[in-house]
Every structure is written in structure tokens, then in C-alpha cells.
């Protein structure tokens, strides 16, 4: 198989870019990831602005805000008690009691209750059965409610007094991306729940249990201050000797204790949704890329997760969303007082999934950060959005790595095809913009409608647009280089005007059109005789000096180069005059030059310009011959000296003349030849043939023009017309009747050349 496509400019310009973008995708470069996150945030906000259908929103979610007003109410004493910022647990218990009275389905606290608070006074239980501490009061209410979810965060579990009385413990850890934006949540976090003896020892000895190192046959505890460690041995089952933590004799207690057990703390939002859907969180089906939860009545929820268990949150709710039931925590605390005063209290929490969290600002309770929706978002809403995602079964889906790589290849390949497949680069760029707009519309639609996150930056921003820009640049530079090369090459053969027209044409096509032009043939006279004489002299010289075969061939080649140089000098002189007068240099025909005026560029004075170019060419050849005659005189003197020394003579510079024929008329002009091979911009027709015949009868040093050319001179340039004299009609080959011809009088007398329009020029020529 021949890999010819590897040599194509499309592959050469696009492949390195596409390959580089694929490498960026594999390396997960942070800079590009952040740009992609920015497009993701924009899509989230766009989706949020178009939200509103009932299917996309759970209707039984509620938020009870602990706000600045709540803190002020508790501090002021208007609620029947007064406390500072760090409330005793009885305050939360009173609010929870009111929620239970209202019949909430579950109550989740986005508050950490990690330690006991013995600094607050004791109080009687609501039924008056016992006087307990504030913590015990709260634990009692947790047990009575039976549907409370407590929070764990960063290896910090609720105190066992609270955890054992709550229905469950959920994870509330916040994991922001590297740009500081909260987009994801972790499905669950495994926590070590330490044995009560170890927890007591940790408090007394200042151990940081979150830094404990578990190794085979030993556990290493690290103090919070400094790096002091305590190592304790464990048996093969991982158990530790009880006496390491207590000296009290307990006959019924086992000698070895299990230091900790693992508690799977699900995300608080998942815990809330599990209450609603009756999902079995104790027996999840954990698969690569997803976690499947099964519930009552065949309900199933699949949570898409990455290798670390994180999933993207469907940010659909804000704290002030009208579809969300909201209330203030101080209203719960005020409700018993209102009822005692005979006022009715509205119950808006029945069968709700209620989250109690902070919306306070400017104190230790403030929990604000950046999310895709806003840079200033109350992060307590994270749990509500997660719960909403699980209940509605809608999660943002990311594109798998293989699909992302394939997308880069497809978009990059399409971009290269668009760039190279369109004739004009501007049209290609417009088409590429349309393709980019279509891609953008598709990725937005996929996210807004289906929450499917198709990457934008690397496929389109890099593989697509950069491939297009690089291909356009490569194409432009290639075309400019090619145009420059063609122009340099063909400007030596044809008029620059022809070169410019060919380069500006979108394509070359065989064909032509009728155009009034003036054709000029100029033939160098004496070239054939020069060739013959040169050959004879060369043969004599070779025979005289008895050259070998190789030396003879070399001498013949040298003479041929000299002959070609001579004719090239004369033809080049004529061609320069044609170009100076903006003529189209058609071709060299042996020792003849063919040119024409009036095409490809329109020229109303084409006859006058052609005649003036012919005059200038004759004058230029006259000056060249004068120069060569002077050189020959010097060569003659040198040869006389060389003869005395027995050296061979130097060759004289040939002096040649030129005959010219010019005719004006309508001819066919265009690109002619084979589309597969040689294409020549030329003219042909009767008037062209006549110009060639006039050149044949012009003789040496004369300019012969046809009747139509003379008529055009009278119309366009009277002075040039006055320099013409009519000759007897001439019978020429290919024409039945004799044609009227005119000679342009151009040759001055000895001395400086005279302009054709001068009276002296005409008088001398006539004489």
C-alpha cells in the first residue's frame, strides 16, 4: 500500500496540529482544562436560564437558612433565650422538634457536631422526664425524630452521642477544582470511626487521628503539635491491646479491641434523595465509571463518576429559587411562642426534604464560594442540587477519553478538508466559521437538553481553528511562493501583464475570445548566415590545429554557445522594448520575436504602442551594433598584435539587423494547447498571418505596417502616422489580392538617432 496521502499538503499542515492537540488531551494540561471549565460554566448558566420544566426540578426540597437575622434573633433574646455565636445544642434541638412536629420527611444538618459542649447548663427534656445536658437534649431529639442526617467533614465524624442517635451521617466535604470553582461532589467518603477508648486517649494526648498511619502489625499516632509519634503493635487481625488505653479492670471486656471501623458516608445530597426514593445505600453496585443505586418499586439511579468517585453537579437551584421551599431557622424557634400567644403557624415543611444550613455572612458560619452559577454562591445549596440530580435522575455526562480523541481527529480533519477543499481561502474561512458555529450550537444544545458535556476548547478551539489557521497560512505561503516562482520564471518569457492575469485566474481553461489587437513580428536578419559562417570557420580552425575528437566537440559547443549568446542578446533587446511599451511577449520563434498589444489588458492605443515599440527596438539594435562595431575595431587591433606573436585571432562580434512586420485587426486571443501539458497564451487568425507576411517582406532594418495599423495611427497618434510612407501594394503568400502596406521611417542619418516625428527624420528618409 502506497501512503501517498503522507505527501499531501493537507496531511503536512494538519497532522502535526491534530497530533499535538491529542497529546494535550492525554496530558490534561491545566491551562486548557481551565478554559474548558470556563465554557462548562457558561453552559451551566445558559442551561439554568432555560430551566423551568417540572421534570427538571424536585418539588419537595426545602432550605432552612441560618442567616445573619437568625444570629441576631438568638443574640437579642427575643426567642426566650439569648446565646452568642456558638449556640448550645438545645437551640438546634428546639428547631428540630418543630420540624418533626411539622412532619418533615428528613432533616439534614449542614453543621458539624464533632464534640460535646459541657459548658452549657442542663435542662429538662420536653416531657419533663429527666434533667439532661444540652448535648443529651439534642441527642434525645435526634432519636425522637428518627429521620435526621448529620454531617461529617474531612475525617471529622459527629460525636458518637449524636451519630448513634441520628438516622445516618453524610459527607459534606467540598472539593473545588484548581481554579477555585465548586463543580463536583464525591459520591461517598470512607471515614474511620475510632473506638471510644482511642477517641478518649486522642483527646487527652492530643492525637490527630486524621494523620494516623496504619501499617501491618502496628499503628502510629501523631500528635497535633509537632511530629511526636506513638507506635502501638497490632495482632494479625489488626486489633490492639485494650490496656494501652485504660488501666481499669473490666472482667467482661475483651482484652483486644478493634481500633476503628470504616463508615461509608454518602454525599449529603445523595442521602437526602435516598430518603425520598428509598434507595439502598448499603448495597450499591459500584462499576467502572458509575455507581448504580437500587430503590423501592424498581427505581434505579446511575451516578456517573470518575476514577476517584467524583461526579459533576447539575447546578439547577439557587438559594432564592422560587421552586425551592425556603424558611428561616428563627421562624422555627419562634413558632412555639406564636402558638402560645394564640397565633396560627403555617406548616410548609410536611413531607419535605429539609436542609438546615448557613447563609450568614461575615462570621465563622459564612459558607460562600464560587460555583458555575455565580462567584458568590451559598455552598449549602450544593446538597440541594445533588439531591435534585439524584431525584430527577439527571447528571452532567462527560465525554470519555477515547471519544474526545476521536472528536479531535474528526474536527481537525474536517477543518483541513474545508480549508483545502475550497478554491478561495476567504470562502474557506467563512465556511469554517459556519462549521464552528454549528459545532458550538450542537454542544450547547446537547448540554442544555441532555446535560451531555462535549468538549469545546481542544476539538474546535485547537484542533479545528488552529488547524484551519495553520492550513490557511501554509496555503497562503505556498501560493505566494508558487506565484513568485511562476512570475519569476514566466516574466522572462511573456509580458508581466499575462503573468498577473494567469496568477489571478481561479483556474486555467483552454479557449479564447475575439479581440482587436496589433501583432508585431521582428526577425533578426543574418542569423542563418552567421550560423553557417561560424560552422565553416570552426571547421577550418579545427582542421588547421588538428584537434582531437573531444577537443573538436568542445570547440563546436563553445561556438554554439557564442552564437546562441549573440542571438539571445538581439532577441532580448527586442523583448525589452516590447515590455517597456506594455506589450504581450508571445513567444520566440527561432530568431524571431512575436508580440501583440490589446490583450490581455485592454489598450485603446495598441497600434501606436506597437509601432513605437518597433521603432525603439530598431534604435536599440542600432545602438547595439554601433557598440559592437567599436568592439570589432578594438578586436582588429588586438588580432594584429596577436598575429605577430603567433597567437590565434579573436572572433569578431557579429553585427545583425532586423526586419519588422506589424498589422492590426480582430483575432482570437486566449489560452491554447493541451490542458494536460503545454498551455500558451497567444493569438491567431488572418490578421496575425498578415503581420508575419509583412515581416517577411520588410528586409533589413525596416518596419512595415498594414493598412489597418496605419489607419489606427492616424486616429490615435498623428505624429507617428506622419512618419509613415505608403509603398506599392504587396502580393503576399496566403492572400489573393495585393495588400496595401506602409513603411515607418525611423532610421536617422549618421550621428544621434532622430525621433520619428521630426521633419529632418522624414526628409532624410525620403532622400
Statement: residue 330 has pLDDT above 80: yes
Share of the chain above pLDDT 70, in %: 89
Statement: residue 490 has pLDDT above 70: no
Q: What is the pLDDT of residue 176?
A: 94
Average pLDDT over residues 128-157: 93
Residue tagged 429521620 (cell numbers): 147
Statement: residue 3 has pLDDT above 50: no
Give the start-end residues of each E strand in 227-329: 229-233, 240-241, 256-257, 260-266, 285-287, 290-294, 300-304, 310-312, 325-328
Q: What is the pLDDT of residue 501?
A: 63
Q: What is the pLDDT of residue 491?
A: 63
Closest listed residue to residue 269, CA positions, set 417, 498, 106: 106
Q: What is the pLDDT of residue 492?
A: 59
Per-residue pLDDT of 43-59, as tens digits, reads: 999 998 886 544 568 88
How many residues are recorded in the chain?
A: 767
Q: Of 101 and 504, which is predicted with more confidence?
A: 101
Average pLDDT over residues 730-755: 77
Statement: residue 413 has pLDDT above 90: no
Q: What is the pLDDT of residue 495?
A: 58
Per-residue pLDDT of 386-395, as tens digits, reads: 999 999 999 9
Statement: residue 5 has pLDDT above 90: no
Closest listed residue to residue 710, CA positions, set 754, 740, 748, 668: 740
Of the pLDDT bands very low, low, confident and very high (cuts 50, 70, 90), residue 168 is very high
Of the pLDDT bands very low, low, confident and very high (cuts 50, 70, 90), residue 749 is low
Average pLDDT over residues 376-384: 95
Q: What is the pLDDT of residue 750?
A: 38
Statement: residue 493 has pLDDT above 70: no
Statement: residue 758 has pLDDT above 50: no
Q: What is the pLDDT of residue 416?
A: 84
Average pLDDT over residues 205-219: 90
**Number of other CB atoms surrounding residue 393 within 10 Å:** 14
DSSP character at residue 209: G
| Cis peptide preceding 600, ω within 30 of 0 | yes
DSSP character at residue 255: S
Report the CATH superfamily, name and number, of domain 496-766. Answer: Nucleotide cyclase, GGDEF domain (3.30.70.1230)
Question: Cα separation of 667 and 514, whole Å?
Answer: 6
Q: Of 13 and 682, which is predicted with more confidence?
A: 682
Question: What is the SS3 string spanning 432-481?
Answer: HHHHHHHHHHHHHHHHHHHCEECCCHHHHHHHHHHHHHHHHHHHHHHHHH
Statement: residue 356 has pLDDT above 80: yes
Residue tagged 475525617 (cell numbers): 155
Angle between the N-to-C axes of helices 465-490 and 9-27, in degrees from 0 to 180, rounded to the nearest 10 = 160
Q: What is the pLDDT of residue 585?
A: 87
Contact 380, 319 (CB under 8 A): yes
Q: What is the pLDDT of residue 498?
A: 59
Statement: residue 415 has pLDDT above 60: yes
Per-residue pLDDT of 442-462, as tens digits, reads: 999 999 999 999 999 999 999
Question: Cα separation of 282 and 284, whole Å?
Answer: 6
**Gyration radius (Cα) of the chain, Å:** 50
Domain boundaries, the chain: 26-56+399-490, 60-190+264-392, 196-258, 496-766
C-alpha cell at 118: 459541657
Statement: residue 646 has pLDDT above 70: yes
DSSP character at residue 652: P
Share of the chain above pLDDT 90, in %: 55
**Number of other CB atoms surrounding residue 657 within 10 Å:** 17
Per-residue pLDDT of 676-727, as tens digits, reads: 556 677 898 999 999 999 999 998 899 999 999 999 999 999 999 999 999 9
Contact 638, 650 (CB under 8 A): yes
Statement: residue 99 has pLDDT above 90: yes
The sign of the dihedral angle between the CA atoms of 174, 176, 181, 186 is negative
| CA dist 106 → 60, 129, 275, 354 (Å) | 11, 26, 7, 6
Q: Of 369 and 644, which is predicted with more confidence?
A: 369
Statement: residue 296 has pLDDT above 60: yes
Own/partner contacts of 278-283, CB < 8 Å, gap of 24 or more, are: 279/390
Average pLDDT over residues 507-526: 81
Average pLDDT over residues 203-219: 90
Question: Cα separation of 468 and 487, whole Å?
Answer: 27
C-alpha cell at 383: 446538597
| Dmax (CA) of the chain | 153
State the pairing for strand pair 106-109/148-152: parallel
Contact 626, 633 (CB under 8 A): no
Q: What is the pLDDT of residue 508?
A: 47
Residue tagged 502496628 (cell numbers): 218
Question: Cα separation of 343 and 251, whole Å?
Answer: 58
Average pLDDT, the chain: 87
Statement: residue 554 has pLDDT above 90: no
Contact 571, 467 (CB under 8 A): no
Closest listed residue to residue 611, CA positions, set 723, 492, 754, 455: 723
* Entry pTM: 0.68
Per-residue pLDDT of 182-203, as tens digits, reads: 999 999 999 999 998 898 888 8
Of the pLDDT bands very low, low, confident and very high (cuts 50, 70, 90), residue 147 is very high
Of the pLDDT bands very low, low, confident and very high (cuts 50, 70, 90), residue 765 is very low
Q: What is the pLDDT of residue 499?
A: 66
Of the pLDDT bands very low, low, confident and very high (cuts 50, 70, 90), residue 754 is very low
Amino acid at each position: 500500500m502506497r501512503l501517498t496521502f503522507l505527501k499531501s499538503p493537507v496531511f503536512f499542515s494538519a497532522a502535526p496540529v491534530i497530533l499535538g492537540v491529542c497529546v494535550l488531551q492525554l496530558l490534561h494540561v491545566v491551562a486548557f482544562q481551565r478554559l474548558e471549565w470556563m465554557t462548562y460554566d457558561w453552559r451551566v448558566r445558559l442551561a439554568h436560564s432555560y430551566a423551568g420544566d417540572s421534570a427538571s426540578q424536585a418539588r419537595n426540597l426545602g432550605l432552612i437558612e441560618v442567616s445573619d437575622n437568625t444570629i441576631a434573633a438568638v443574640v437579642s433574646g427575643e426567642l426566650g433565650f439569648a446565646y452568642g455565636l456558638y449556640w448550645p445544642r438545645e437551640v438546634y434541638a428546639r428547631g428540630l422538634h418543630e420540624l418533626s412536629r411539622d412532619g418533615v420527611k428528613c432533616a439534614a444538618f449542614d453543621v458539624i457536631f464533632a464534640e460535646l459542649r459541657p459548658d452549657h447548663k442542663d435542662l429538662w427534656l420536653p416531657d419533663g422526664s429527666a434533667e439532661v445536658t444540652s448535648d443529651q437534649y439534642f441527642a434525645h431529639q435526634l432519636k425522637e425524630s428518627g429521620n435526621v442526617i448529620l454531617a461529617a467533614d474531612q475525617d471529622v465524624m459527629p460525636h458518637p452521642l449524636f451519630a448513634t442517635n441520628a438516622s445516618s451521617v453524610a459527607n459534606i466535604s467540598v472539593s473545588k477544582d484548581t481554579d477555585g470553582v465548586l463543580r463536583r461532589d464525591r459520591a461517598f467518603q470512607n471515614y474511620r470511626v475510632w473506638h471510644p477508648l482511642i477517641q478518649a486517649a486522642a483527646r487527652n494526648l492530643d492525637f490527630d487521628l486524621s494523620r494516623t498511619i496504619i501499617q501491618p502489625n502496628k499503628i502510629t499516632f501523631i500528635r497535633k503539635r509537632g511530629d511526636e509519634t506513638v507506635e502501638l503493635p497490632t495482632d494479625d487481625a489488626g486489633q490492639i491491646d485494650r490496656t494501652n488505653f485504660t488501666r481499669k479492670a473490666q472482667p467482661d471486656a475483651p482484652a483486644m479491641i478493634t481500633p476503628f471501623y470504616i463508615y461509608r458516608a454518602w454525599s449529603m445530597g445523595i442521602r437526602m434523595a435516598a430518603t425520598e426514593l428509598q434507595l439502598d445505600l448499603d448495597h450499591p453496585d459500584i462499576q467502572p465509571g458509575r455507581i448504580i443505586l437500587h430503590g423501592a418499586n424498581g427505581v434505579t439511579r446511575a451516578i456517573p463518576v470518575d476514577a476517584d468517585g467524583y461526579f459533576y453537579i447539575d447546578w439547577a437551584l439557587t438559594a432564592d429559587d422560587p421552586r425551592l421551599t425556603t424558611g428561616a431557622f428563627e421562624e422555627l424557634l419562634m413558632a412555639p411562642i406564636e402558638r402560645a400567644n394564640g397565633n396560627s403557624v403555617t406548616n410548609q415543611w410536611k413531607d419535605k426534604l429539609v436542609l438546615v444550613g448557613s447563609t450568614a455572612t461575615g462570621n465563622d458560619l459564612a459558607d460562600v464560594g464560587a460555583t458555575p452559577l455565580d462567584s458568590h454562591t451559598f455552598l449549602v445549596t450544593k446538597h440541594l442540587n445533588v439531591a435534585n440530580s439524584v431525584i430527577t435522575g439527571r447528571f452532567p455526562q462527560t465525554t470519555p477519553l477515547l471519544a474526545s480523541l476521536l472528536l479531535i481527529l474528526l474536527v481537525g480533519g474536517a477543518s483541513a478538508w474545508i480549508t483545502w477543499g475550497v478554491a478561495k481561502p476567504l470562502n474557506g474561512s467563512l465556511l469554517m466559521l459556519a462549521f464552528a458555529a454549528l459545532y458550538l450550537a450542537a454542544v450547547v444544545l446537547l448540554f442544555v437538553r441532555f446535560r451531555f458535556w462535549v468538549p469545546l476548547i481542544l476539538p474546535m478551539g485547537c484542533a479545528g481553528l488552529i488547524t484551519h489557521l495553520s492550513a490557511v497560512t501554509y496555503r497562503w505561503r505556498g501560493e505566494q511562493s508558487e506565484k513568485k516562482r511562476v512570475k519569476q520564471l514566466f516574466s522572462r518569457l511573456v509580458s508581466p501583464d499575462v503573468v498577473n492575469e494567469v496568477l489571478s485566474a481561479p483556474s486555467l481553461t483552454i479557449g479564447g475570445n475575439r479581440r482587436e489587437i496589433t501583432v508585431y513580428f521582428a526577425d533578426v536578419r543574418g542569423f542563418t548566415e552567421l550560423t553557417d559562417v561560424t560552422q565553416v570557420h570552426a571547421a577550418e580552425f579545427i582542421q588547421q590545429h588538428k584537434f582531437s575528437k573531444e577537443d573538436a566537440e568542445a570547440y563546436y559547443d563553445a561556438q554554439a554557445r557564442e552564437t546562441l549568446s549573440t542571438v539571445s542578446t538581439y532577441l532580448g533587446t527586442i523583448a525589452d522594448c516590447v515590455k517597456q511599451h506594455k506589450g504581450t511577449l508571445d513567444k520566440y520563434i527561432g530568431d524571431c520575436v512575436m508580440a501583440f498589444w490589446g490583450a490581455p489588458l485592454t489598450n485603446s492605443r495598441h497600434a501606436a504602442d506597437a509601432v513605437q515599440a518597433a521603432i525603439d527596438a530598431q534604435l536599440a539594435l542600432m545602438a547595439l551594433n554601433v557598440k559592437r562595431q567599436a568592439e570589432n575595431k578594438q578586436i582588429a587591433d588586438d588580432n594584429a598584435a596577436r598575429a605577430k606573436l603567433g597567437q590565434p585571432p579573436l572572433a569578431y562580434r557579429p553585427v545583425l539587423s532586423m526586419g519588422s512586420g506589424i498589422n492590426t485587426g480582430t483575432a482570437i486571443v486566449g489560452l491554447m494547447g493541451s490542458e494536460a501539458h503545454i498551455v500558451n497564451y497567444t493569438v491567431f487568425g488572418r490578421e496575425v498571418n498578415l503581420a508575419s507576411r509583412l515581416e517577411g517582406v520588410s528586409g533589413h532594418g525596416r518596419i512595415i505596417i498594414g493598412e489597418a495599423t496605419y489607419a489606427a495611427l492616424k486616429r490615435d497618434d498623428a505624429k507617428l502616422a506622419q512618419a509613415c510612407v505608403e509603398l506599392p501594394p504587396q502580393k503576399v503568400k496566403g492572400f489573393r489580392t495585393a495588400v496595401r502596406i506602409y513603411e515607418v521611417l525611423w532610421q536617422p542619418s549618421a550621428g544621434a538617432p532622430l525621433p520619428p516625428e521630426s521633419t529632418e527624420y522624414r526628409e532624410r528618409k525620403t532622400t
